[in-house]
Amino acid sequence: MSRVSVKIVGASGQGINSIGEILAKALKRSGYFVFGYREYPSLIKGGHASYQLDIASHKITSSKKIVDAVVSLDHHGLSIHLDEINDGGYLIHDMSEWDFGEEEKKKIEAKNIKVILLPTDEIIKELNAPYVVQNVLFTGLLWSAFNQDVSKLKEVVKERFASKPKLIDLNMNCIDKGYEFKSEEEIEIKLPDANKDCSDAMLITGNQAIGLGAVHAGVRMFASYPMTPASSILTYLAEIQNKTGMVIKQAEDEITASQMASASYFMGTRAMTGTSGGGFDLMTETLSMVGIIESPMVFVLAQRPGPATGMPTWTAQGDLLLAVHSGHGEFPRCVMSVSDAEDGFKLTAEAHNIAERFQIPVILLTDKHTAESLFTSEKFDQKSYEIDRGQLVDERDLSEMKAEDRFMITDDGVSPRWVPGQAAPGYNATSYENLPDGTITEDSVPAKEMFDKRMRKMKALKDSLPEPELYGANREPRSADRNEELDILIIGWGSTKNVLVDVLRDLSRQSNKLSSTERQSTSGEVASRLGSSRGSSLEESKIGYLHYSHLWPLKTEKLLELSSKAKKVVIVEGNNQSQLGMLIKQETGLSIEDKILKYDGRPFFYEEILERILNYKF
């Protein structure tokens, strides 16, 4: 058994996230890797939402479309999710008066779905408890179905309610009632073997990791205006503000937030802002200004489907070209993209080093799927990172500076930098074209010289960036032989990495013995082909995934070497136009015709990628 998937569904405000988060923490402590994925409408209460947990004995970073159990806290989930339940799976609910329609009954019978009624109304009356404990009863029931030690679950719930001690006894009673519930049909959701290696791992979302990466990088000021899916960076940093001493400011709008953060950076304080599509549009004038005054700045752009308001609580990879081309005029910038929690921590810190080293804006992309998903992550490396402030002049050398040194023309385009208030000559920093001392100019010769000087940073920046990383059978990147010939070279960026490395890992290790659970959770055609793949060329095929974290300027040497020898080149993106594919064609002339694209607001699910790979001829 590779993994188990459980989906909790209900209305926003019913506590479905609490069930998922409590179970995730208890499962991790019991020796399981989990991945948590949320879907919800842009409503505070009501609508239909879900929290899915995928559980395994090895690291996983993706969700399956077909699950082993659906737990429904409202009537909508009883019909909406029937097609998502495995053959022989469970539908657990508390709608005692619900009657399934004829078509629903046929589906339930055909798939042998076990329908379990948990009488929450009766139990709540018996406990003389408020109805809000409904979710705790379901939590206890699921823990029993997992056949796990109830003390582990109680420990987590006690911690969650530590600030409300009067509620602890009630919640313990609810857990007992759910755990001890016996239905007419036995409920058993068999988990894979536990793995003690994950006991020291963290449970962390992508946005929490970005927040910790900012702390680790020495960021002292974060200004933002709430906009999903970037909002939780603001809330998380505000929650730990008393521990970090970071200044957190919720501005009145995105223009103000970007101005406050960029001004703080200009004054010498590492700062950052975060937003999403329409909010980033409002920040682009600041972005352009940062480009001409050659001041460092980091913008986090959390993607969601557009255009306009689009689907605010869903995911997309539609803003890559926006990040590369936003802001009027031409100026150097770096665009990077987070894929998981480790990336969130590492790349956020790296973004600030790049911003200061080259005195440019850095745009750090994430998306709703990465930002809000829950990852089981190893503890972050806090020792290898060193803060690099680039050409920031040492206090001892300030007296030697002249005003014209600030924007002096250099071979790599990077000039000495000092900040207002230091004991050094003053210089002008305006949004106008300027001479080396910042004085405004509109003369053609110095204007071109300064323009060329700034753009030379792009070559220095590109030379400093790493090539994309190649993944194969293992989750860790591997080196590529220049003469390596792959059957399939898959190219992607951002959150697409998570599902691709999961699928490649399973294909390489289990192509000859995929579990019955996995066969049931794919379409019949794919299941059949998985069964017949024994001894086939699938086992001998070489599939590599080339992952881009640093997207602009675009490094292409490894891509061109691998693609020239690969039998098939495929690009996977969460947008309509294959925006990375467009950049690759722009920079190299290489046109990637085989595309796997998705732009319905949902991430790539495990089965979708598995099926597409199995459809290729080897």
Give the tens place of pLDDT for each residue, 170-194.
999 999 999 999 988 889 999 999 9
Domain extent, residue 101, equals: 3-200
User: Lowest-confidence range among 426-430, 446-450, 514-518?
Assistant: 514-518
In this predicted structure, what is the pLDDT of residue 557?
96
Collapsing DSSP to helix, strand or coil, 499 comes out as helix
With CA atoms as reference, report the closest residue to 572 among 479, 517, 502, 478. 502
In this predicted structure, what is the pLDDT of residue 357?
98
In the chain, the number of structural domains is 4
Beta strands in 394-512 (DSSP E): 469-471, 488-493
For residue 252, is it left (φ>0), alpha (ψ between -120 and 50) or beta? alpha
Whether 71 has a pLDDT exceeding 60, the answer reads yes
Mean pLDDT, residues 52-77 taken together? 96
Q: Are residues 450 and 494 in the same domain?
A: no
Whether 491 has a pLDDT exceeding 50, the answer reads yes
Phi, psi of 285 (to 5 degrees): -70, -40
In this predicted structure, what is the pLDDT of residue 511?
58
- Domain of 56, CATH number, reads 3.40.920.10
- Domain-ending residue, one of 445, 464, 483: 464
pLDDT tens digits for range 542-578: 899 999 999 999 999 999 999 999 999 999 999 999 9
On whether residue 12 sits in a domain, the answer given is: yes
Mean pLDDT, residues 404-424 taken together? 94
Q: In this structure, are strands 247-250 and 221-224 parallel, antiparallel, or unpaired?
A: parallel
Of all helices (H) and strands (E), which one includes residue 596?
strand 594-597
Contact 412, 457 (CB under 8 A): yes
Measured distance CA(322)–CA(317) in Å, rounded:
11
User: Lowest-confidence range among 128-137, 519-528, 599-608, 609-618?
Assistant: 519-528
- Domain of 552, CATH number, reads 3.40.50
Measured distance CA(27)–CA(56) in Å, rounded:
10
Q: Are residues 234 and 371 in the same domain?
A: yes
On whether residue 383 sits in a domain, the answer given is: no
In this predicted structure, what is the pLDDT of residue 531?
46
Whether 160 has a pLDDT exceeding 80, the answer reads yes
On whether residue 528 sits in a domain, the answer given is: yes
In this predicted structure, what is the pLDDT of residue 484?
84
Measured distance CA(221)–CA(141) in Å, rounded:
44
On whether residue 177 sits in a domain, the answer given is: yes
DSSP labels, 122-164: HHHHHHT--GGGHHHHHHHHHHHHTT--HHHHHHHHHHHTTT-
Of all helices (H) and strands (E), which one includes residue 459?
helix 444-464
Q: Which percentage of the chain shows pLDDT scores above 90?
A: 85
Q: Are residues 444 and 550 in the same domain?
A: no
Mean pLDDT, residues 227-251 taken together? 98
Whether 516 has a pLDDT exceeding 60, the answer reads no
On whether residue 538 sits in a domain, the answer given is: yes
Q: Are residues 163 and 145 in the same domain?
A: yes
On whether residue 130 sits in a domain, the answer given is: yes
Q: Are residues 141 and 55 in the same domain?
A: yes
Q: Is 309 exposed, middle or buried (0-12, 13-18, 19+ CB in 10 A)?
A: exposed
- Domain of 326, CATH number, reads 3.40.50.970
Q: Which percentage of the chain shows pLDDT scores above 70?
A: 94
Q: Are residues 235 and 338 in the same domain?
A: yes
In this predicted structure, what is the pLDDT of residue 204?
98
- Domain-ending residue, one of 178, 200, 222: 200
Mean residue pLDDT of the chain comes to 93
On whether residue 251 sits in a domain, the answer given is: yes
Q: Are residues 553 and 528 in the same domain?
A: yes
HEC-encoded secondary structure of 263-308:
HHHHCCCCEEEEECHHHHHHHHHHHHHHHHHCCCEEEEEEECCCCC
On whether residue 179 sits in a domain, the answer given is: yes
Q: Are residues 87 and 129 in the same domain?
A: yes
In this predicted structure, what is the pLDDT of residue 541?
67
Phi, psi of 141 (to 5 degrees): -65, -45
- Domain-ending residue, one of 438, 464, 490: 464
Q: Are residues 116 and 162 in the same domain?
A: yes
- Report the length, in residues, of the chain: 618
pLDDT band at residue 520, thresholds of 50, 70 and 90? very low
Q: Which residue has the tokens 């010289």?
A: 449
Q: Are residues 104 and 144 in the same domain?
A: yes
Measured distance CA(96)–CA(336) in Å, rounded:
51
Q: Are residues 172 and 207 in the same domain?
A: no
Of all helices (H) and strands (E), which one includes residue 204?
strand 202-205
pLDDT band at residue 530, thresholds of 50, 70 and 90? very low
| pTM for the whole structure | 0.94
Q: How far is CA 529 from CA 235, 515, 568, in A?
A: 47, 13, 20
pLDDT tens digits for range 2-45: 899 999 999 988 999 999 999 999 999 999 999 999 999 988 88
Mean pLDDT, residues 347-357 taken together? 98
Most confident of 286-300, 532-546, 603-617: 286-300
Q: Are residues 208 and 195 in the same domain?
A: no
